[in-house]
Amino acid sequence: MGRTLAEKVWDDHVVRRAEGEPDLLFIDLHLLHEVTSPQAFDGLRKAGRRVRRTDLTIATEDHNTPTLDIDKPIADPVSRTQLETLRKNCAEFGVRLHPLGDVEQGVVHVVGPQLGLTQPGMTVVCGDSHTSTHGAFGALAFGIGTSQVEHVLATQTLPLAPFKTMAITVDGELPDGVTAKDLILAIIAKIGTGGGQGYVLEYRGSAIEKLSMEARMTVCNMSIEAGARAGMIAPDKTTFDYLQGRDHAPRDEDWDAAVAYWKTLHTDDDAVFDAEVVIDAAALTPFVTWGTNPGQGAPLSSQVPDPASYDDASERLAAEKALEYMGLTAGQPLREIGVDTVFVGSCTNGRIEDLRSAASILDGRSVADGVRMLVVPGSVRVALQAVAEGLDKVFTAAGAEWRHAGCSMCLGMNPDQLAPGERSASTSNRNFEGRQGKGGRTHLVSPQVAAATAVLGHLASPADLSDAAVATPAGV
Amino acid sequence: MEAFTTHTGRAVPLRRSNVDTDQIIPAHWLKKVTRDGFEDGLFEAWRKDPEFVLNQERHKGATVLVAGPDFGTGSSREHAVWALQNYGFKAVISSRFADIFRGNSLKNGLLTVVLPQETVEELQRLAETDPTAEVTVDLVARQVRAEGVTAGFELDENARWRLLEGLDDISLTLREEPAIAAFEANRPSFTPRTVVV
């Protein structure tokens, strides 16, 4: 019987297989950041162990880093200590690090792909759940905990329990103004935050094939919000074109050998998935969340749902608690929800296409009075590209704040936070209670919806901007 | 890792679904570089409410958390497990756990027990009506026992063995050194290295 993409990548990494034991898998790339690694390095030190493969390991600073005044000492002493701890650990164990101020610094899931380190068929791990991002290249990529970080540092392997496979087939054309973010939010709302538990998702179908690499990363990034172990997309010409010429992409004969192998990385026609979901791309519209988990979303054109409409008791209770926390009432049109903050950035939507998309809507317009808009590029490289294209000027001319690269308000570990009761439209990935700051309320949106919302001051899509037609940039 | 065989203690009901790891331990706690001292951060936002179940005098000292479905979703932060353990929890019972949280728990000796939602609710009702009622989580017999409740649970044999013995995963894997070295010797030359080019 044929195999799925995920099964092929898995099989090619089995170091040891024994009856009744989890497979031991080799890890091709281990990404580190300051938050989930200190206790792992401590463990190595206590046991007198070394990092087995420093040449397959790379670190960057992202979660804690400020996005203003980066040339000054970090004000929060605890954040500073954590960054200093990473620097000390990387120096002691010989791990390549891109610290704050370095040209390759940025959000770990933006840095790996842009360096060309993330390639098809690889196993990629990081102590961060959004490692699923790298699945966009046809890599098997997943988030791990700190104990597993230590395990990979020491052995370059992980014992892993078997997974199930789920096909998410998206056929048809995404309508104008409907982006990869709307698509993944709609998928999560359909299958639920637990719907992917135990599964590796494979996104396929004509709508997926048409997505750019960056859009594919947005989709795979949020696989974890459906509870999935990982999300993958089979590599194709789009993938190869993105990789060719990047710092760590193979060259010459290695390139040819790599592409020959990568072309085998697709689900066989006779392979069987454990579950299948079908989505009609043409039926999708801009999608936003109204609740406190990423599955609590709805089309922007609809209303806040009535908790009483849920048959399942725990879903009903979750919806009641979500509306209470979010300060919303059932039946309220989503378009009438006013915001005071707009955040464009994160490993979900902090890449150059995302910034172009938001800038194209803000160009010649202004951020509404009383709305604060933060634009935080996913990496220094993304920031430099945006500046080269003049996007920073578009943002600042519209009244948005142009910041330094990092995770920023996605999780508010640095000073970029919502105050209690503040409400944001955010291109990030999680609308959990307090995620962007204690008492803060988050609506997850696409970069286009974020920009239109900033202009109008309430949740809106570009089509709601009456003054001009807005083109959709290619690939987004 | 501390071995887990069987534990008997009082249970505390947490009637919420989709409890994400941001609720279990908010991000600002993750700046710490140790594995301990997270107990005050556990459910920090909810604990500001004096009525929150963990603040109720009658549930003080409970060691078994009986939670709603989809417990531990979201961020991979292992700090969530450390926070539960630092606070005193030995086991969490739910009808569904997020994968990464469950993996992290088992690596730290915090037992996560999956039971049908009806049984979870039975245990929640029991803890609500009689907060002194004891619940036994028996990994040897793979059984949860409390007054009026006896429920078997599944846990894969390998994970169970590691927990019962309190085995360190890294030491076990390092026994496979020859297999790892053999795999490394056969990796294709086109696979990338992080060495600066």
Say how far apart CA B148 and CA A331 lie, in whole Å: 43
**Do A82 and B31 make contact, defined as CB atoms within 8 angstroms?**
yes
Say how far apart CA A432 and CA A469 lie, in whole Å: 34
Q: Do residues A100 and A70 lie in contact, with contact meaning Cβ atoms separated by under 8 Å?
A: yes
- The closest alpha carbon to A444, from A427, A458, A460, belongs to A427
Q: Which two tokens stand for residue B20?
A: 């994400």
Contacts of B100 in chain A (CB under 8 A): 129, 143-145, 224
* B28 interfacial to chain A (CB closer than 8 Å): yes
Helices assigned H by DSSP within chain B: 21-24, 44-47, 79-87, 99-108, 117-129, 157-165, 169-174, 177-185
Q: How many domains does chain A have?
A: 2
Q: In sequence order, what are the residues at sequence separation of 6 or more whose Cβ sits closer than 8 angstroms to the Cβ of residue A377? A: A106, A345, A350, A355, A383, A386, A403, A404, A405
**Do B176 and A258 make contact, defined as CB atoms within 8 angstroms?**
no
Task: Please state the rounded mean pLDDT for residues A81-91.
Answer: 97
Q: Do residues A380 and A105 lie in contact, with contact meaning Cβ atoms separated by under 8 Å?
A: yes
C-alpha pair distances (Å), A394 with each of A45, A106, B12: 49, 22, 53
Say how far apart CA A265 and CA A465 lie, in whole Å: 43
How many residues does the structure list for chain B? Answer: 197
How close, in Å, is residue A186 to chain B by CA atoms? 18
Q: Do residues A410 and B22 lie in contact, with contact meaning Cβ atoms separated by under 8 Å?
A: no
What is the per-residue pLDDT for A466?
77
Q: Which two tokens stand for residue A349?
A: 């939507």
What is the per-residue pLDDT for A467?
63
Residue A126 is assigned to a ligand binding site? no
Q: For residue A321, which phi and psi values (nearest 5 degrees)?
A: -65, -35
The domains found in chain B, sorted by start residue, are: 6-185 (3.20.19.10)
**Do B192 and A151 make contact, defined as CB atoms within 8 angstroms?**
no
**Do B76 and A122 make contact, defined as CB atoms within 8 angstroms?**
no
**Residue A122 belongs to some domain of the structure:** yes
* Closest CA in chain B for residue A250: B190
**Residue A472 belongs to some domain of the structure:** no
Domain boundary among the residues A219, A242, A275 is at A275
**Do B33 and A116 make contact, defined as CB atoms within 8 angstroms?**
no
C-alpha pair distances (Å), A53 with each of A206, A214, B135, B181: 39, 29, 45, 11
Identity of the residue numbered A472: T
Is pLDDT at A313 greater than 60 in this prediction? yes
Domain co-membership, A248 together with A299: no
- The closest alpha carbon to A40, from A103, A78, A92, A102, belongs to A92
Domain boundary among the residues A243, A275, A307 is at A275
**Residue A363 belongs to some domain of the structure:** yes
Domain co-membership, A321 together with A347: yes
Pairing of strands A140-143, A123-126: parallel
* B81 interfacial to chain A (CB closer than 8 Å): yes
**Do B98 and A28 make contact, defined as CB atoms within 8 angstroms?**
no
**Which residues 118-147 in chain B show a CB within 8 A of chain A?**
none
Domain co-membership, A268 together with A315: no
Q: Among B33, B107, B173, select the one facing A85 at the smallest CB separation.
A: B33
Mutate to test the interface with B, among A10, A14, A16 (most CBs of B within 10 A): A16
Residue A347 is assigned to a ligand binding site? yes
**Residue A302 belongs to some domain of the structure:** yes
Domain of A25?
Answer: 5-275
Q: Among B22, B69, B183, select the one facing A430 at the smallest CB separation.
A: B22
Domain co-membership, A270 together with A309: no
Q: Among A28, A63, A412, select the one facing B191 at the smallest CB separation.
A: A28
Say how far apart CA A96 and CA B97 lie, in whole Å: 35
Which CATH number fits the domain that encloses residue A358?
Answer: 3.30.499.10
Say how far apart CA A55 and CA A474 lie, in whole Å: 36
Say how far apart CA B90 and CA B66 lie, in whole Å: 11
Task: Please state the rounded mean pLDDT for residues A95-113.
Answer: 98
* Closest CA in chain B for residue A152: B170
* Closest CA in chain B for residue A433: B23
Q: Do residues A220 and A140 lie in contact, with contact meaning Cβ atoms separated by under 8 Å?
A: no
Is pLDDT at A469 greater than 50 in this prediction? no
* B104 interfacial to chain A (CB closer than 8 Å): yes
How close, in Å, is residue B46 to chain A by CA atoms? 10
**Do A119 and B191 make contact, defined as CB atoms within 8 angstroms?**
yes
Q: State the 10-residue block means of pLDDT for chain B, 197 residues long.
A: 93 97 96 96 97 97 97 97 98 97 96 98 98 97 97 94 93 96 97 94
What is the number of other CB atoms lying within 10 angstroms of the CB of residue A340?
Answer: 17
Contacts of B169 in chain A (CB under 8 A): 147, 151, 159
Pairing of strands A341-344, A372-375: parallel
Say how far apart CA A233 and CA A376 lie, in whole Å: 27
Is pLDDT at A468 greater than 80 in this prediction? no
Domain co-membership, A257 together with A299: no
Domain boundary among the residues A275, A307, A323 is at A275
Q: Do residues A281 and A182 lie in contact, with contact meaning Cβ atoms separated by under 8 Å?
A: no
Domain co-membership, A239 together with A294: no
How close, in Å, is residue B104 to chain A by CA atoms? 6
* Confidence class for position A474, pLDDT limits 50, 70, 90: very low
pLDDT in tens, B69-126: 999 999 999 999 999 999 999 999 999 999 999 999 999 999 999 999 999 999 999 9
Q: Among B23, B34, B180, select the one facing A39 at the smallest CB separation.
A: B34
Domain co-membership, A215 together with A361: no
H or E element, residue A122? none
What is the per-residue pLDDT for A83?
97
How close, in Å, is residue B108 to chain A by CA atoms? 8
* Closest CA in chain B for residue A126: B76
* B181 interfacial to chain A (CB closer than 8 Å): no
Q: In sequence order, what are the residues at sequence separation of 6 or more whose Cβ sits closer than 8 angstroms to the Cβ of residue A460? A: A300, A335, A449, A452, A453
**Do B169 and A229 make contact, defined as CB atoms within 8 angstroms?**
no
Mean per-residue pLDDT of chain A: 96
**Do B190 and A157 make contact, defined as CB atoms within 8 angstroms?**
no
Q: Do residues A198 and A233 lie in contact, with contact meaning Cβ atoms separated by under 8 Å?
A: no
Task: Please state the rounded mean pLDDT for residues A247-253.
Answer: 97
Q: In sequence order, what are the residues at sequence separation of 6 or more whose Cβ sits closer than 8 angstroms to the Cβ of residue A423? A: A327, A337, A338, A339, A340, A341, A440, A441, A442, A443
- The closest alpha carbon to A187, from A170, A212, A205, belongs to A170
Pairing of strands B143-146, B149-152: antiparallel
Domain co-membership, A218 together with A338: no
Contacts of A122 in chain B (CB under 8 A): 191-192
Domain co-membership, A202 together with A300: no
What is the per-residue pLDDT for A476?
47
* Closest CA in chain A for residue B20: A432
pLDDT in tens, A20-57: 899 999 999 999 999 999 999 999 999 999 999 999 99
- The closest alpha carbon to A447, from A377, A366, A372, belongs to A377
**Residue A251 belongs to some domain of the structure:** yes
**Residue A474 belongs to some domain of the structure:** no
pLDDT in tens, A412-441: 999 999 999 999 999 999 999 999 999 999
Domain co-membership, A50 together with A23: yes
Domain co-membership, A101 together with A205: yes
Contacts of B184 in chain A (CB under 8 A): 26, 156
**Residue A471 belongs to some domain of the structure:** no
Is pLDDT at A475 greater than 60 in this prediction? no
DSSP letter for each residue of B70-95: SBTBS---THHHHHHHHHT--EEEES
CA angle A466/A471/A473 to nearest 5° reads: 145
Domain co-membership, A152 together with A37: yes
What is the per-residue pLDDT for A238?
98
Buried b (16+ CB within 10 A) or exposed e, A161-195: eebebbbbbbeeebeebbbbbbbbbbbbbebbbbb
Confirm whether the ipTM is greater than 0.90: yes
Helices assigned H by DSSP within A16-137: 38-47, 77-93, 108-114
pLDDT in tens, A211-243: 999 999 999 999 999 999 999 999 999 999 999
Which DSSP state fits A284? Answer: -
A387-A389-A391-A393 Cα dihedral, nearest 10 degrees: 70
**Residue A427 belongs to some domain of the structure:** yes
How many interface pairs between A and B have CB atoms less than 8 angstroms apart?
A: 210
DSSP letter for each residue of A145-169: -HHHHHHHHHHSEEEE---EEEEEE
- The closest alpha carbon to B124, from A455, A198, A191, A317, belongs to A317
**Side-chain half-sphere exposure of B105, counting CA atoms within 13 A:** 25
What is the per-residue pLDDT for B44?
97
* Closest CA in chain A for residue B1: A147
Edge-first strand order for the sheet with A23-26 is: A14-16, A23-26, A157-160
